[in-house]
Amino acid sequence: MKHSFKELWNRAFLFVGPCWYLLVWMIWSSGQLVTMDEKITFLAVVVPGFILVYCSGFFIEGWHEKKKRLRS
């Protein structure tokens, strides 16, 4: 592998991010979210969810590195 995990993970999110945004925009503009409470709940789930998925990659990398160190 030529690149570090961090670089590859960030590159992946450069492609996933716009698709995620497009999906959120499509749901937002579809008219399914009628009240302000629904919109706030939607954003309160989607935004932290995106951040959690992004950060989980670094958690998995650390876990994998720790596992490799314990084996050797």
Question: Does a structural domain hold residue 60?
Answer: yes
pTM of the model: 0.73
- Residue numbers of the domain that contains 72: 47-72
Write down the pLDDT at residue 1: 63
**How confident is the prediction along the chain (72 residues), in pLDDT tens digits per residue?**
677 888 888 888 899 999 999 999 999 999 999 999 999 999 999 999 999 999 998 898 888 888 888 887
- Is there a contact between 39 and 33 (Cβ–Cβ < 8 Å)? yes
- What is the crossing angle of helices 36-71 and 5-29, to 10°? 160
Q: Which own/partner contact pairs does 45-50 have at CB distance under 8 Å and 24+ positions apart? A: 50/17, 50/20
How many structural domains compose the chain? 1
Q: Is residue 11 domain-resident?
A: no
